[in-house]
Amino acid sequence: MMKKAAPLILALAAMLSLYLASCRDTDEVSAPGQTPLVGKAAASPQAPDVVRLKKFSYVDSTGMGCEAFSLLTPVGWEFSGGIDWVFDNPGMPATARFRVKNPAGSEELEVFPNQAMFWTDNQMLLATFPVGSRYFGAEVRPVLGPQEALASVVIPRFRGKARGLAVVGSEHLPELAKALHAGAPQPGVRAFGDAAKVRIEYSLGGIPMEEEIFAVVEGFSFSMQGMQGIITNTNWYVDYIFSFKAEKGGLHRAAPQFQAMINSFRVNPQWFSRYNQLVEALIQAQIRQIRSIGELSRYISRTSSEISDSMMQSYNERQKVYDRIGEKVSESIRGTERYVNPLEGSEVELPGGYSHVWTNPLGEYLLTDSPSYNPNEESNGNWQEIQRKP
């Protein structure tokens, strides 16, 4: 039995929004005259300080060949990574791992790949596939709670080489698991789900850092008749693994810039639809292992760019979960405001505290407090000032 798993990228908004809710009493937005928290455009003698954001689009060139997701990023920040296609797990053939980093500072948003696990009480199977081996693309390992999984799986694998690493805090987050429907009932199996976060500190290039890492543990168990009686198998996952970091003491202050990115995060519905078609095809064909990009490409070529009504409904329902969480958090966080973008016919949430906001057809945004600053005087970018949503 396999899990039809949407990639980790679909949960970013929910995860960061829940963190930001806990920071609402300490978040700040730069006051006029201070260096903005998000990317600063190149200044001229006549130009005031401005915040400049641009749309970043990630194209899944290895897999689907189309845009997978997009988000606003501060100009000057660097994106690295993307979606990795794996060859041994038909139920989860793609995972996301990427970073959005401020090269002039320490702030960084990072997404880690899902970790697929398998466990059983079938001792004959365990004799062939002991702990640490891989069984149909999943690592054989007893089920862990989210805090245990962070401590014994996530941190050693992704931060194990950090100097002076110490876990300074841990928190159970059942509301995160609930928001992501982790452990929601499924027919014929016993589903479970829970979530947590840890705060770690370490040294990076001689700079003291702090980082908060989130993770969800979810899965399902099912029983079947074996040679030695009833056995129970469990497919479980450490997924939605996500972190944000900054120089020690800077996480709360950097919250608005992370929020500007995450609130703009959108998955391409065409990519979402084709990915789920691919998962269905691989499972139905009972593919045990994809051995090459060429073989994967042949299956991808059979997916359709047409989005069925049921797939679009699934996509919209998932997106609404994140939108509702984002709206709820925005009501309690000072630091963002909604604007109407007439060029795209949509709304956008941007860092607050600025009296003038401009956009252009390229999907870029400029925020400033100067009533006399007009970006069209410095470029031919066809900038247009936009207004807050009433």
Within a domain: residue 123? yes
In a domain, 378, yes or no: no
**For residue 244, pLDDT beyond 60:** yes
Structure tokens of 296? 């994967």
Q: Are strands 356-359 and 384-388 parallel, antiparallel or unpaired?
A: antiparallel
Assess if residue 363 is contained within a domain: no
Domain membership of residue 134 (yes or no) is: yes
In a domain, 176, yes or no: yes
Q: Is it the case that residue 168 has pLDDT exceeding 60?
A: yes
Is residue 361 assigned to a domain?
no
**Those residues with Cβ within 8 angstroms of residue 182's Cβ, 6 or more apart along the chain or in another chain:** 193, 194, 195, 216, 217, 218
Q: What is the pLDDT of residue 195?
A: 94
What pLDDT, on a 0 to 100 scale, did the predictor assign at position 146?
A: 97
- How many structural domains is the chain composed of? 1
Question: Which pLDDT tens digit goes with each residue over 76-123?
Answer: 999 999 999 887 777 788 888 999 999 999 999 998 999 999 999 999
* 39-43, 225-229, 251-255, 384-388: range with highest mean pLDDT: 384-388
Q: Indicate whether 386 belongs to any domain.
A: no
Mean pLDDT of 12-25: 51
Q: Which of 99, 71, 101 is nearest to 265 (CA)?
A: 71
- What's the mean pLDDT in 216-238? 92
State the pLDDT at residue 201: 98
Q: Is 77 exposed, middle or buried (0-12, 13-18, 19+ CB in 10 A)?
A: buried
Q: Rounded mean pLDDT of the chain?
A: 80
Residue 4: predicted pLDDT: 40
Closest CA to 87 of 110, 111, 62: 62
Q: Summarize pLDDT for 294-337 with one digit per residue, the tens.
A: 666 776 777 766 677 776 776 666 666 555 444 444 443 445 78
Is the Cα torsion angle 100, 101, 107, 108 positive or negative in sign?
Answer: positive
Tell me what pLDDT residue 80 has: 96
Establish if 349 belongs to a structural domain.
no
Predicted TM-score of the model (pTM)? 0.74
Q: Which domain holds residue 244?
A: 8-332
- Residue 223: which of 92, 137, 122 has the closest Cα? 122
